[in-house]
Structure 1
Amino acid sequence: MNIFEGVAVCFDGRAMAYSPRPLRAEDGNWDINLPEDDGTKNPKGRMFHVQIKFTRTIDIGRLGVFVRGEGAAGGNFPDASEVQSATQALNVLIQHGPSSLYPNRAASFFLPPENRQAASLLKGLEMWRGFYTSLRPGPNKIFVNLDIASQPMYQSGNLADVVLDFLRAASRGITLTDLAASKIPPRGYIELDRFLRGVKVQLKVKDKDGHEPVRKIKQFEKTSAAAATFKLEDGSSQTVESYFKLQYGVTLKRPDFPCVRVSKVALWPLELCDVEAGQKWTEKLDPDQTAAAIKLTTVGPKERVKMLNYGLTRIQPKESGASAALAQWGVTIKKDPIVVQARELKPPTVTYQRSLQPREGVWDMRGGHQFYSPAKIDRWLILVFDSDRFFRLEEAQASVMGLVAACTQVGLSIKDQRPPIHYVPRNSDINAYILSKGSELVRSAGGPPQMLICFLPRKPCDEYATIKRLGDVDKGVATQCLFINKAKRGNPQYYGNIALKMNVKMRGINSILDPASLGPIAEKPTMLFGADVSHPSPGSLAPSIAALVGSMDSKASLYGTSVRVQSSRVEVIAHLDDMTATLIKQFQDKLKVKPQRLIFFRDGISEGQFPQVLATEVAAIRLACKKLGADYSPDLTYIVCGKRHHMSFFPKNDVDAARKNGNCKAGTTIDTDVTSAYSFDWYTQSHASLLGTGRSAHYTVLVDDSKFSADTLQQLVFNLCFTYARCTRSVSYATPAYYADRVATRAQLLWKRDDDDSSTVVSSHSGASEEKIRVQQLAEWSGRLKDIHVNHSESLYFL
């Protein structure tokens, strides 16, 4: 089908194709029979009807007019649809070549690992590295945003080796001998069937046409090739082992291995199947796989630059003719990265009982610094959720003493410094046990516990959610969990970090910023908001959870929270007016004044959703204010923030780099060259990166009634990154948004049940539409939603 006659037509993989010049056949219809992946023809299932129809001409030159700002004051300036169409066409062009050659996902493509063993994620998966590409308009230029991407894939190669790697996660000592059908445990079969269903495998035996057929696994069978039988056309039965011997002359080396079913009748022996390379794993990784993935994808700045330079060559791979294709379009991509001007913002002064000055986003409390407003614990319970054989009483006592010492050092007062330690009986009712011990404390100490210290055996741990529900919702008591393995190795720094969380859960204040660093917040009553939406895991139809936090003091230290459930995977917050009004009223009740200024940080919004949030969320915030008074109209500043972008910044000179790892220093701010041509946005690297290449936060101001200058707002946002209560370092984006993310995560934990698994939800509503299931789930979750206990109305219980 040579209808394009050498013209570099690019296709977006869905419905749109773009050509640099008119085609001779601008309209046409074709019936196409594509072969199977193994080369065989299937006249029934691989027939496609293709229709090409000319729709319109896109003037790429209008994109240049837009970025140069030519005629912005006149009536001939490109509108949003022209800019979007031209940008989309060029994006499809630069992504077409690599996407045709390599596995891809949206704007990213992935290359097979050179060292597959080093790329292993365990349990039959491996990590492929690749590159993200996106063309972006900036001030006076159009540039390609190139970033590193990664994607978990099924391990390729012999299926028996993949199965062995999967089973070794449960028992590292097993070998190929343990793959005999009779030795795989029942649960192993269930997990293997879930893992392998739908995976493409190739039979390493040629059929009568000389092809090695490729099929998808329908089921992982429990029967060996020696025992599995099927009926032939004459009605007789034959084992899989004997069939392959008679039909193909293949003698199985391991007929005791299981088979995989690839159709209603076809069973293939495990040892004769190869898993095809490049099959994406789209479900959530388990904790061990996640740790391995983080280790594999952590790349320092200098190594990252080298990888990005290599990625640029893959955008134009010679074998695809992509360079010639770009030439037809008149497009060239310069190899040198863009050099931009940056500023380094001055860090704020952090105040405990005494003030100190952070350096490169980090400060040290050692040297006698105590909390600005330390809490006091008169009564507490110490609970161990493990056997005294694994966490001996003397070890638990030493951990408690280490914790008491750390708390005392920073001013957190604990009355009973040698409390009794209670070992929770295995399989007991956790709530009942804790309540009984709380009642004993009432009788002995005159009141209920103010803090529960819980030593847990592992992470994740089933008891964790139960403890948090009891403390956050039911009884309003502060809870602090420690994991036993860490507690055994506990040092003053570890217990000092625990003390940071304990103090704010008891309504203490760890530190504040000096008034000069608070800037506009100190000028008049100002309320900071952070908002985020947490979505269910992939495949689940459970509702999403919207979280809103609002500051409750003039120091931006205490926060109230509001949580709602809403339709699954809807990003715009549905009940923002009620949530906002609730927190403003709480602010007014506490400080006896309404805030005159609202600064709102919104996480999780993409650029394409900006018009939608302006029309909905901004309107909802203003409506909330009107609910509190017809004349109440505080100044609103609405800022979208987040790190889910692909811009990477690297210091050009070593003198401008952080000392430890060569990243940009905390405070590095970029607001020219690679920002929007017409919006108020900037990037700030606000934290000292511990691992890999630092990712700056991107801020876009959608509304600014206060008309802040760029310097004022950028400095304020940077300073707020130093108010995150659970650490002595600045965080990567503004604390209110960070807190909202934490609240949303905690809410998922508090209201999720064990039977909320996505597969259970779908199977239990067989035949029901997804929309009906979503509605049912939303109603069910709304019924379980309970308010956070009033005792936590201003505590940072979610840390």
Structure 2
Amino acid sequence: MRERVFKVFIKLASITDPDHLEQFLAGEQSDTPQETIQVLDIVLRESPSNNYTAIGRSFFSMKMGQRTDVGDGLECWRGYYQSLRPTQMGMSLNIDVVAASLYEAISVIDYVQKLLNLRDPSRRLSDSNRIKVKKAVKGLHVELTHRKEEKRNKITGITTQPIEQLMFTVDEGGRRMSVAQYFHDKYDVKLRYGHWPALQAGSDSKPAYFPMEVCKIVEGQRYSKRLNVKQVTNILRASCQRPKQREDNIKTMPLHNDYKNDVFAKEFGIEVIPQLVVIQTARVLPAPMLKYRDTGRDVRLQPRMGQWNMINAKMVNGGTINHWMCINFSFLNEEPAGYFFHGLVSMCNSKGMSINPTPLLPMHSTRSDQIERTLIEAHTQSASKIASSGQQGNLQLLIIILPDLTGSYGKIKRICETELKQWALSRRMPIVSEKPTIIFGADVTHPSPGEDSSPSIAAVVASMDWPEISKYRGLVSAQHPHQELIQDLYSLVEDPQKGTSHAGMIRELLISFRKSNGFKPHRIIFYRLVLLWKRGTVVDSMICHPSEFDFYLCSHAGIQGTSRPTHYHVLWDENNFNSDTMPILTNNLCYTYARCTRSASVVPPTYYAHLAAFRTRHYIEGEVSDSGTGASATSKQQAEVRSLPKIKDNVKDVMFYC
């Protein structure tokens, strides 16, 4: 093996200033000494990086917990997360237990069989299964088992042809040979799965092909794609811990890491106190009193433990549904389905809504592979029935029974053009009821890692019904993949392909607020969902920012495990909120979530924005193509300029995303 010479250049990146950090912690400096904090954070991560498997900002070790099989070739690893943060107490080490989904370190053959739940691996893979495998293994690192020396490769795709038919040029003379024959002649390996495709490494111009049965998944690779329902359930079951158990596990982390004898920490003069901080100044905020219609048995309800029961209450402004129908794509008989829908209508009417007890058209049962044709027919037939009866309006509610939890839901939401009615409770909100107020919520959802052909989707919602603050109008916009800044928030947006332009989302929502209420808002409150950090409990001291306005609020009661508070950071305040009014307003808003009679963990405007952005992704995800992207998106360039389907006028003013 010949010697190789490397030239190394060391460049000064920045100079740390401990004095600046001390002044910042004392509130004498406003700008954060990020470089100094980063250096100290790296110092405390050095020893764990040598002793544990580091994945992102988290550390995992078999000594700290067992691995749990979560299905389809994945397993759950338990570990911990740590970061150094400036707080009012000084520099604080934030430690928490974490769980992550990783690929099992098994042969690719075994992984594919688990992924596809194959009972008979002697058959060739169908096109749909081959595409599913391609998306699952792309970017995966594997080690080859047919060579003596250890060799790792990154998978870039899989072939369309099976190994026994996949030919390549062997030598300069142009002699061609199948991959299966090559492995037999070169390595004396007789392949058992020659009827399966090969894994591809390298580029399309210079590919390298490897049979799946000689490839083993390298240990410690995080699974970053979307989990299915079974996997999510298994991970929650494996990782959920009650507060006392979670606290005990966190307490053991400093003992495992032994910060006291850490040579790196000692060299930098860092001392870690191995006790949890006890917050003495946390406050429990009172839950707001909820007001329902005066004709109900219960007019006012006081939530307890973040939830309440409205069985004896009626909604203040219940929705009206004159035209509705049902389509059955499942194997459920029409008789039990009919009982359910009659019961649903009866319950809705008893809660203050007004729903026609008779559907516009009889229930229609059909096969699940006829979704698009059936929905188009339902739209046409319902419009014809309404017109022939001399009535006004459109189909307002379409109830669909799905056969499974796969892709049917996304396809249905993409096709449906019916109007949905919002059923919300009316509650007067302290603070914002003093003057006309509009509350915004914003979020951006990004495509899964590796899906560069799909755009990021930004969503902004705004309240339209002052002073109740319960009805929100939403707008969505596509932008460059993985861009966190909302591009169309304020600017004038032009579409040169259509020759049209429209105002930024903020301006459009402000105009809608004025049309809805008859006046302009006097106050604007904007919530932006960035990152998620105990039931109405607020903490605004000790562990918060040394000089800025932030607080931790646990506005919900966790159903299982340990509730995680949300971290709110006030970036700009022209309304003169104080440490009481802002947390109280935010906590009260969490009781206006329209989906359920429970308080939400995140303030509803941002929750709605997240739902709107997430829902919109269903509209652009068509049938899966061989490229692993939506059928209409074939390149990153196309995805960046691709516009979203226009939201129908009859759903713009209702919460279709909720």
- Give, in whole Å, the separation in 2 of the partners of 1:422 and 1:301: 48
2:609 alignment counterpart: 740
Asked whether 1:343 is paired with 2:294, we answer no
- Give, in whole Å, the separation in 1 of the partners of 2:54 and 2:326: 51
Asked whether 1:413 is paired with 2:357, we answer no
2:404 alignment counterpart: 458
- Give, in whole Å, the separation in 2 of the partners of 1:669 and 1:542: 38
Aligned mate of 2:363, from 418, 422, 426: 422
1:565 alignment counterpart: 478
- Give, in whole Å, the separation in 2 of the partners of 1:792 and 1:193: 37
Asked whether 1:329 is paired with 2:329, we answer no
Structure 2: which amino acid aligns with 1:779?
Answer: V
Asked whether 1:85 is paired with 2:85, we answer no
Asked whether 1:361 is paired with 2:361, we answer no
Instruction: Tell me the alpha carbon deviations over residues 694-734 of structure 1, each in whole angstroms, 9 at most, x when there is no partner.
Output: 11111111222121221122111111111112211111122
Instruction: Tell me the alpha carbon deviations over residues 730-773 of structure 1, each in whole angstroms, 9 at most, x when there is no partner.
Output: 1112222222222222333335544799744899867xxx5xx1
Structure 2: which amino acid aligns with 1:797?
Answer: F
Structure 1: which amino acid aligns with 2:657?
Answer: F
Instruction: Tell me the alpha carbon deviations over residues 477-536 of structure 1, each in whole angstroms, 9 at most, x when there is no partner.
Output: 22xxxxxxxxxxxxxxxxxxxxxxxxxx25x542424xxxx2221212122221222223
2:455 alignment counterpart: 543
Q: How many residues align?
A: 627
* Larger Rg, first or second structure (1 or 2): 1
Asked whether 1:595 is paired with 2:541, we answer no
1:795 alignment counterpart: 654
Report the CA distance between 1:260 and its aligned residue.
5.8
2:89 alignment counterpart: 140
Q: 1:121 to 1:735 in 2, by over 3 A?
A: same
1:718 alignment counterpart: 587
Asked whether 1:524 is paired with 2:464, we answer no
- Give, in whole Å, the separation in 2 of the partners of 1:779 and 1:589: 32
Structure 1: which amino acid aligns with 2:587?
Answer: F
Give the match's secondary structure for 2:571: strand
2:497 alignment counterpart: none
- Give, in whole Å, the separation in 2 of the partners of 1:373 and 1:695: 33
1:541 touches 1:758 (CA, 8 Å); kept in 2?
Answer: no
1:584 touches 1:594 (CA, 8 Å); kept in 2?
Answer: yes
Report the CA distance between 1:363 and its aligned residue.
0.6
Report the CA distance between 1:331 and its aligned residue.
1.2
Q: 1:251 to 1:303 in 2, by over 3 A?
A: same
- Give, in whole Å, the separation in 2 of the partners of 1:758 and 1:270: 20
Q: 1:756 to 1:199 in 2, by over 3 A?
A: closer
Give the match's secondary structure for 1:702: coil
Aligned mate of 1:777, from 633, 639, 644: 639
Q: 1:228 to 1:330 in 2, by over 3 A?
A: same
1:786 alignment counterpart: 646
- Give, in whole Å, the separation in 2 of the partners of 1:302 and 1:794: 45
Q: 1:43 to 1:734 in 2, by over 3 A?
A: same
1:510 alignment counterpart: 425
Report the CA distance between 1:392 and its aligned residue.
1.0
Instruction: List aligned pairs for 1:215-230, cutoff 5 A.
Output: 215-216=153-154
Report the CA distance between 1:108 and its aligned residue.
1.9
Q: 1:669 to 1:255 in 2, by over 3 A?
A: closer
1:540 touches 1:757 (CA, 8 Å); kept in 2?
Answer: no
2:341 alignment counterpart: 400
Report the CA distance between 1:212 and its aligned residue.
4.4
Q: Give the gaps of 5 or more residues in structure 1.
A: 1-40, 479-504, 605-641, 646-663
Asked whether 1:51 is paired with 2:9, we answer yes
Asked whether 1:300 is paired with 2:242, we answer yes
Instruction: Tell me the alpha carbon deviations over residues 184-211 of structure 1, each in whole angstroms, 9 at most, x when there is no partner.
Output: 556545544554455444445673xxx4
Q: 1:435 to 1:461 in 2, by over 3 A?
A: farther
- Give, in whole Å, the separation in 2 of the partners of 1:50 and 1:421: 76
Instruction: List aligned pairs for 1:96-115, cutoff 5 A.
Output: 96-112=46-62
1:326 touches 1:332 (CA, 8 Å); kept in 2?
Answer: yes
- Give, in whole Å, the separation in 2 of the partners of 1:240 and 1:461: 35
1:113 touches 1:119 (CA, 8 Å); kept in 2?
Answer: no
Report the CA distance between 1:351 and its aligned residue.
0.8
Give the match's secondary structure for 1:576: coil
Structure 2: which amino acid aligns with 1:510?
Answer: L
2:444 alignment counterpart: 533
- Give, in whole Å, the separation in 2 of the partners of 1:550 and 1:165: 45
Instruction: List aligned pairs for 1:280-299, cutoff 5 A.
Output: 280-299=222-241
1:30 alignment counterpart: none
Give the match's secondary structure for 1:52: coil
2:414 touches 2:620 (CA, 8 Å); kept in 1?
Answer: no
Structure 2: which amino acid aligns with 1:603?
Answer: L
- Give, in whole Å, the separation in 2 of the partners of 1:98 and 1:337: 19
Instruction: Tell me the alpha carbon deviations over residues 277-297 of structure 1, each in whole angstroms, 9 at most, x when there is no partner.
Output: 112333333443333333333
TM-score using structure 2 length: 0.83
- Give, in whole Å, the separation in 2 of the partners of 1:597 and 1:278: 50
Give the match's secondary structure for 1:721: helix
Instruction: Tell me the alpha carbon deviations over residues 101-146 of structure 1, each in whole angstroms, 9 at most, x when there is no partner.
Output: 4443432233359887x62232222222222211001113111111
- Give, in whole Å, the separation in 1 of the partners of 2:151 and 2:2: 12
Give the match's secondary structure for 2:642: helix
Q: 1:274 to 1:589 in 2, by over 3 A?
A: closer
Greater Cα offset, 557-566 or 134-143:
557-566
Report the CA distance between 1:306 and its aligned residue.
2.7
Give the match's secondary structure for 1:421: coil
Report the CA distance between 1:85 and its aligned residue.
1.3
- Give, in whole Å, the separation in 1 of the partners of 2:217 and 2:621: 36
Structure 1: which amino acid aligns with 2:477?
Answer: R
- Give, in whole Å, the separation in 2 of the partners of 1:415 and 1:218: 55
2:65 touches 2:78 (CA, 8 Å); kept in 1?
Answer: no
Q: 1:555 to 1:214 in 2, by over 3 A?
A: closer
Structure 2: which amino acid aligns with 1:391?
Answer: L
Report the CA distance between 1:369 and its aligned residue.
0.9
Q: 1:160 to 1:414 in 2, by over 3 A?
A: closer
2:633 touches 2:639 (CA, 8 Å); kept in 1?
Answer: no
- Give, in whole Å, the separation in 2 of the partners of 1:699 and 1:159: 44
2:224 touches 2:448 (CA, 8 Å); kept in 1?
Answer: no
Give the match's secondary structure for 1:437: helix
Instruction: Tell me the alpha carbon deviations over residues 70-106 of structure 1, each in whole angstroms, 9 at most, x when there is no partner.
Output: xx2xxxx4x636x211101011111222234444343
- Give, in whole Å, the separation in 1 of the partners of 2:113 and 2:416: 42
Structure 1: which amino acid aligns with 2:8?
Answer: V
Structure 2: which amino acid aligns with 1:705?
Answer: E
- Give, in whole Å, the separation in 1 of the partners of 2:471 and 2:566: 23
2:501 alignment counterpart: none
2:562 alignment counterpart: 693
Q: 1:102 to 1:551 in 2, by over 3 A?
A: same
Greater Cα offset, 526-535 or 279-288:
279-288
Give the match's secondary structure for 2:83: strand
Structure 2: which amino acid aligns with 1:323?
Answer: D
Report the CA distance between 1:566 and its aligned residue.
2.9
- Give, in whole Å, the separation in 1 of the partners of 2:641 and 2:169: 48
Give the match's secondary structure for 1:600: strand
Q: 1:60 to 1:106 in 2, by over 3 A?
A: farther
2:243 touches 2:562 (CA, 8 Å); kept in 1?
Answer: yes
Report the CA distance between 1:269 and its aligned residue.
6.5
- Give, in whole Å, the separation in 1 of the partners of 2:440 and 2:613: 14
Q: 1:316 to 1:48 in 2, by over 3 A?
A: farther
Q: 1:134 to 1:590 in 2, by over 3 A?
A: same
1:130 touches 1:148 (CA, 8 Å); kept in 2?
Answer: yes
Q: CA RMSD in A?
A: 3.8
Q: 1:324 to 1:360 in 2, by over 3 A?
A: same
- Give, in whole Å, the separation in 2 of the partners of 1:378 and 1:80: 59
- Give, in whole Å, the separation in 2 of the partners of 1:272 and 1:528: 57
2:566 touches 2:601 (CA, 8 Å); kept in 1?
Answer: yes
Report the CA distance between 1:339 and its aligned residue.
0.8
Aligned mate of 1:156, from 99, 102, 105: 105
Structure with a larger share of its residues in helix:
1
